[in-house]
Amino acid sequence: MANPAVTLARSFTDTFSGIAPAHAPAFIAAQILGALVATAFFAWLLAPVGVTQTTTKSPEPAE
């Protein structure tokens, strides 16, 4: 399915491609769960790896 809004709209249709109203909550729950899993996966995938804080000493002032 596309998204929860489309699922809800298709549950109100009486066409071949419609969704039975009783099945709409399960479709919507699966879509939300899939979105959460995809978000967590991409956050993990795009997280910086091996980034360390480096500090450099400033040069000593010449006397």
Q: Decide: 47 and 56 in contact? Cβ < 8 Å.
A: no
Residue 49 CA from chain centroid, whole number: 20
Prediction pTM value = 0.65
Q: How confident is the model at residue 55 (pLDDT cuts 50, 70, 90)?
A: low
Cβ proximity of 18 and 11 under 8 Å: yes
Indicate the angle between helix axes 24-45 and 4-11, nearest 10 degrees. Answer: 170
CA distance 19 to 42: 30
What does the pLDDT look like over 21-33, one tens digit per residue? 888 899 899 999 9
pLDDT single digits (tens) 4-18: 888 888 888 887 778
Residue 1, pLDDT above cutoff 60? no
The pLDDT, as a whole number, for residue 3 is 82
> 19, 11 in Cβ contact below 8 A?
yes
The domain segmentation of the chain, as residue ranges, is: 4-12+22-45
